[in-house]
Amino acid sequence: MRKIGLSITAAMLLAAGMSSVASASALENIVSNPKVSLEVRPRYEYVDQDGISEEANAVTVRTALGLNAQLFEVEGLGAQFQVMNVTALNDDYAPEQAGYPVVADPEQTRVTQANISYTVNGFTTIVGRKMVTLDNHRFIGNVGWRQMPQTYDLAAVVYNGIENLNLLGAYVWNVNRIFATDGDGPKNKHLSTGSVLLHASYKVMPELTITAYDYMIENLMDHIGLRLTGKVDLSGVKVGYTAEYAIQDDPSLDDSDDPLYSPTRKQDTEYYNLAVDASYNGFIGGLGFEHLGDKGSGDMAFSTPLATLHAMNGWADVFLSTPDEGLEDFTVKLGYNAGEYGKIVGIYHSFSSDTNNAAGDDDLGDELDIAYNYKINKNLGLLLKYADYNAGDTSFGKKDVTKYWVQLDYKFSAGL
């Protein structure tokens, strides 16, 4: 009996082992070539804003875990999944506690990417939730500076089957913004929409890339524009330029049954951006001028609600929304890239309105931004960052703001 019992036990263990092997084999048939990624980004942010007695001192941590894999052993068929958490180690800032300046990093956990893609003959189709950035993030961005990024629920087709040509068409039904998804958060924490993004780019030569776009944001606006960029080597001096023009027009996609702001928005304003940058032996310099037109005969000034706004018009985030009188931003950039010792960049902004306000004023202040990036090792980076905004004419109602940040960013990825 003992031998029979042992034989039965051995058979059961063997069967269990074979079942595990079969299960593993079946899983490999579904998911193959998996690659995991991890990011841990602790940050300290300080904010001192005139008119608010308290000073914000926010200590937050972003933790992101992701997985990319091939599906069903089909070439070109893949899946992407990422979950992200923002943890606050204190509450000395709004929205965690009232009475403090805002640091837009509330505690939350969210699935930030979950999509399936298929690539064949130069076409890539993507369905699901994904981070999307186009060009310099001025119109379509992921707000990657904030601890919880902005993501898009979409169906998109990308074509790059012809050398130097890139085409994108996307239908977006939801924009998951940076705000907390639970509790009594702001109404714009998500943007339920039926918007269409069209983008085409062709690199004619290293000195010229032509980009055209039409971003149709339902019930709000159309942005139609042309962007020229390029790089030139002038006897060792590397020069880059940008020349861009866009109009803000009435929304093509205007659903009167489900309006976002009002049944019909009227838009009539324009945008242009001119910039030149140069680098030589580690030294960096640049000049720029950006114009966001006043509201004119429309309902609002030139605005880009889906942009990575922190990267535009000063890191103090004073101009996350464009004044009715419009905004003009003249910038001077100086910096030095010391290679293994890091990179430092300073940017000076001089702000003015496109048209005078009711008081006849146009001075919107100025700002100095400084950032130092240092690569500690291949996985870990250090960022020290500073922004100081000084308000202009008091009739605009702006307040002086000082901010600085200390941040570590650890990134790791590996195949399984």
Model confidence at 3: pLDDT above 80? no
If you ran DSSP here, which 8-state letter would residue 365 be given? E
Name which residue leads in pLDDT, 5 or 395. Answer: 395
- Report, as an integer, the average pLDDT of 140-164: 98
313: which residues sit within 8 A by CB, 6+ positions away?
Answer: 290, 319, 327, 329, 349, 351
Rg, the chain, Cα only: 25
Burial of 216 (0-12, 13-18, 19+ CB in 10 A): buried
Q: Is the pLDDT of residue 183 over 90?
A: no
DSSP secondary structure letter of residue 282: T
Q: pTM of the predicted model, to two decimals?
A: 0.90
Tell me, what's the pLDDT at 299? 87
Span 107-123, mean pLDDT? 97
Mean model confidence pLDDT for the chain: 91
Give the Cβ contact number of residue 100 at 10 Å. Answer: 21
Mean pLDDT of 46-73: 96
Q: What is the per-residue pLDDT for 187?
A: 47
